[in-house]
Structure 1
Amino acid sequence: MNTSISFLAIILLCAGCTVPPAATSPTRDDPQVREQQREVYRRKAPQKLPPAAAAKPVTGEVPEPLLERVRRALVQQLGHDRLRLHRAEAVTWPSGAMGCALPGQVYTQASVNGYHVVFEADGKYWDYRLNQRGGFRHCENPGPTKRVLQYPTQ
């Protein structure tokens, strides 16, 4: 009986206790965090291309509307249109990271058909990775370009 009363007393005492909610930290899904990440990538100057990516130029394999969207985005970022197309080729990337994974992101491990576009401007190379649906992003630190295979465009 004494144990039951002690147990009941503990339950009643704890009933009034509340646990403070855990402090929520922003996640990468938070629009403010995403915008901060984009701003960081916009501010960084592009890196020089590694020797494998700086090889013989390949052009003409990217659909013109996609190429123009990437070009317009770079012109807007740079504030001028003095660009030289260095690479515009169709590729199959080994994963959804398209050869340029961002820290903390999760990507599909399936091959992704897309394009590799590199412009030269102001003495620097601007490396862009595209998927077939038209999504693209600037690859800040491309590293060696690894592709599963090239595929012909029709």
Structure 2
Amino acid sequence: MKTRWISLIVLLILTLTGCGSAPTNAAESSDLPLTDPTKIPLSTLIPAQPTQGDKPQMNPFLPAPSAPGLEGLVEAAKADLAQRLSISASDILVAEAKEVVWPDGSFGCPQPDMLYAQVLTPGYLIKLQYDVRDFEYHAGKDRSLTYCKNPLPPIEGAPSNT
């Protein structure tokens, strides 16, 4: 019985010793020299502002070239809208096409009585115009395109990973 208690106490002491913090001495903890953050030149902290010559000229009616496959989604959305409205796809303007992050698995187009994964979901937003009306198509990264009658906005400022 005594052996059991002694073993338990020794085990408890070893466990608690392993959880404790070791005293640190600044001189012994690191062999690297300490630097003074005030000596960093200010010019290295502030990125240079791009000049007008650095900015690519973008047409607001074309999708961003950084999203591979987005052009195919835009064409599919235009074809779908043309079929819905019984018009020519060439009469439809692309107001916006970009990568976004949706707040959940509904891609900003929730349907009544449906449950969606509550995770940030990368995807695409395509806004089309015909006459004076706007139409939105939402898609996920798997290229599933959905016409959205009552769209919800994507997460603003969220990074999308491609």
TM bucket by the smaller chain?
0.5 to 0.7
Q: Detail structure 1 runs of 4+ shifted over 4 Å in the superposition.
A: none
Greater relative contact order structure (CA < 8 Å, 6+ sep): 1
Contact kept in structure 1, 2:62 and 2:94, CA below 8 Å: no
1:150/1:57 Cα in 2 relative to 1: closer, same or farther (>3 Å)?
Answer: farther
Measured against aligned partners, the alpha-carbon deviations of 1:104-131 in whole angstroms (never above 9, x if no partner) come to 1111112211100010012100011101
Q: Counterpart in 1 of 2:155?
A: 147
Residue 114 of structure 2 corresponds to residue 88 of structure 1: no
Percent identity at matched positions?
A: 25
TM-score (norm 1): 0.55
Shift of 1:83: 0.6
Which residue, 73, 77, 82 being the options, matches 1:75? 82
Question: What count of residue pairs does the alignment treat as equivalent?
Answer: 97
TM-score (norm 2): 0.53
Residue 63 of structure 2 corresponds to residue 59 of structure 1: yes
SS at 2:160 equivalent: coil
Matches of 1:132 and 1:64, distance apart in 2: 13
The CA RMSD over aligned residues, in Å, is 2.2
Matches of 1:138 and 1:72, distance apart in 2: 12
Contact kept in structure 2, 1:90 and 1:152, CA below 8 Å: no
Which segments of 5 or more consecutive residues in structure 2 lack a partner in the other structure?
Answer: 1-59
Which segments of 5 or more consecutive residues in structure 1 lack a partner in the other structure?
Answer: 1-55
1:150/1:120 Cα in 2 relative to 1: closer, same or farther (>3 Å)?
Answer: farther
Measured against aligned partners, the alpha-carbon deviations of 1:61-109 in whole angstroms (never above 9, x if no partner) come to 5521122111111111112121110110101111101122111111111
Matches of 1:103 and 1:120, distance apart in 2: 26
Q: Which aligned pairs between 1:1-154 and structure 2 lie closer than 5 A?
A: 59-60=63-64, 62=67, 63-80=70-87, 81=89, 82-143=91-152, 145-147=153-155, 149-151=158-160
Larger radius of gyration, structure 1 or 2?
Answer: 2
